A and B are shown apart, each in its own frame.
Chain A
Amino acid sequence: MSTLSERILGADAGEYVDRKVDRAYVHDGTGVLTLETWKQMGNRLSDDPDLYVLFDHIVPANNSTTATLQHELRDFACGSFMHFSDIGGGICHQLMSEGVVLPGEVVVGADSHSCTPGAFGAFATGVGATDMAAIWLTGETWFRVPDSIGISLTGSLQGSAEAKDLALLYVSRLGMDGGTYCALEFIGDGVKNLGMDDRLTLCNLSVETGAKTGMFYADHITLQYLAGKGQKVQPQVPDSCMYSRELEFDLSDIVPLIAVPPRVDTVKPVSDLAGIPIDQVFVGACTNGRFSDLARLAGILKGKNVAVRTIVVPASRAVLSEAIRTGVIADLVAAGCTIGTPGCGPCLGAHMGVLGEGEVCLSTANRNFRNRMGVGGEIYLSSVATAGASALTGEITEPEVG
């Protein structure tokens, strides 16, 4: 009777294991450090895991220092057998989620949100640059098999509530260290009412509780999604197992929520905050930059005009293409939105949408830490529906039920 982590890692919670890694990825930020460390370690590349270098954080480069660092990493990646995605390809976690990561795999990314593809029933987690360098060298790493917290779901989302609202809710319940060392397992009847995009959003925020990863068991929804990407996989059937803790949520009760700066676990109903003026709306990031998010936003904004600057950044080139093909981008541009290069966009405050002193942004990303998007700026985190409704009024606004 094992948790999904125990099953994939092949040992009981609490034990240390050395595990071969199936896929390992870095981005333009962490890749630079990984490369430096790896050179000191031994300069050999393991040909075992699939290794990826995916440019997403500062794309295109914002200044010549960044450009020079990217140049070196790009040259290295292209001269090796690593998979490489250049600027505009998309956010690393999204690219790994477009038919790359498969159920049962061990996946490691040099980025804290590498928990995202756990949505496919993989054991996916983040490590630092030194760990990643050793994985480049040897193809394996050590893990302590985590205890698991069960997030048990019933019902289905109603009205304008989104998976993001549930994500903010569970983060506030667990708190910013409530999941430390643990894996979150999303279980229960309600999971069948959550699509792949919803699941990715839910796993994405697991690290905001300190958790090692968030995971869903691969079911018919997973299989169907991956089949659409040309991947044929087997479902994972949950065992009855021991959770160190179990939280229950009825999806039908979820209402639109917002995380108030500067903590992701300070969460309030949108209705309590309605009327707070905002200077910028950002829809995107590895949390909410997928096609379903952009389409939902376009549905809200179509035929209207945004009242504040609204930056929309597709999570990947595939998302952008789909949004162009379906007319979503045309609707967003007509409503006054600015469309950014697929990637992280303003999420990390490096460029493209940095906030000024005293400015307020309503963002669909996952972190609202002090100064993250620019010194002196404040970040409220919400769903796409809340971001869309607020973009139209210029202040925090509850989304219409529809």
Chain B
Amino acid sequence: MQGGGHAVCLGPDIDTDLIIAGRYLRTKDHGIWVSHVFEDLDPSLAARMNGAVIVAGKNFGCGSSREQAALALKEAGVTAVIAPSFARIFFRNAINVGLPAIECSLPCVEGQNVKFDLAAGCVETGGNTYSIRPLSPRMRDILAAGGLIRYWRGRP
């Protein structure tokens, strides 16, 4: 799976409450999250999410196990999250909803184009290539299918 987008730089320890606040969870209308994503961190971020690659610090997605955090980013048009490490339940949830969570340390320049290639195991930005902690073939397949529901739906 390949993709890319403009970098949005964030710090370490971004928790799931900051990604999507608890007050917006109780809804079946996923579209509502698009305008509220990262609201408590920086309300201006939501407008920059479509087509973004989030480049964050360590332990991204810590806190509660809400699957809505990964879903909200995907709904908002984020193409991937890149961080040196993720909270493990967020990491699983992200893959399961079809949002690439890529473990990699790279310098972030706001707005700069970032490209990723999961099969090749690398990320490219600012003319440099960085290797990522590889995903298993199964995880790449789940991502390529657009998430775990679609991955399994219709399989014999």
Contact = CB atoms under 8 A, between A and B. Distances in A.
Nearest to A111: B65
Contact of A41 (B59, B65, B148): B148
Contact of B152 (A14, A134, A177): A134
Given A16-B138, A142-B139, A127 B92 contact: yes
A152 interface: no
Contacts of B59: 177, 180, 210
Contacts of A176: 62
A128 B96 CA distance: 9
A137 B139 contact: no
Contacts of B135: 16
Interface in A19-54: 37, 40-42
A93 interface: no
B35 to A, nearest CB: 24
A138 interface: yes
Nearest to B93: A128
Nearest to B147: A130
Contacts of B154: 42
A180 B152 contact: no
Interface string B114-156: 0000000000000000000101101100000001110011110
Given A41-B152, A177-B62, A16 B92 contact: no
Interface stretch (B45-53, B83-91, B105-113): B83-91
B152 A181 contact: no
A181 B84 CA distance: 12
A37 B96 CA distance: 12
A57 interface: no
Contacts of A42: 152-155
Interface in A48-87: none
B67 interface: yes
Contact of A130 (B88, B133, B149, B155): B149
A90 B26 CA distance: 28
A126 B136 contact: no
Given A130-B67, A181-B85, A210-B87, A137 B152 contact: yes
A129 interface: yes
Contacts of B138: 16, 18, 142
A112 interface: yes
B65 to A, nearest CB: 6
Interface residues of A, number: 26
Nearest to A37: B149
Contacts of B97: 130
Contact of A180 (B85, B139, B148): B85
A18 to B, nearest CB: 6
A131 B65 contact: no
Given A42-B153, A177-B59, A131 B96 contact: yes
Interface string B18-38: 000000000000000000000
Nearest to A127: B92
Given A16-B138, A40-B153, A134 B148 contact: yes
B39 interface: no
Contact of B88 (A37, A40, A137, A210): A210
Interface string A177-200: 100110000000000000000000
Contacts of A126: 65, 89
Interface string A1-22: 0000000000000101110000
Contacts of B148: 41, 130-131, 133-134
Interface in B76-103: 85, 87-89, 92-93, 96-97
18 contacts: A14-B133, A17-B136, A18-B136, A40-B149, A128-B67, A128-B89, A128-B92, A129-B67, A131-B148, A133-B149, A134-B96, A142-B136, A176-B62, A177-B13, A177-B87, A180-B62, A210-B62, A210-B88
Nearest 8 CB-CB pairs, A to B? A16-B136, A41-B152, A130-B96, A177-B59, A128-B67, A130-B148, A40-B149, A128-B93
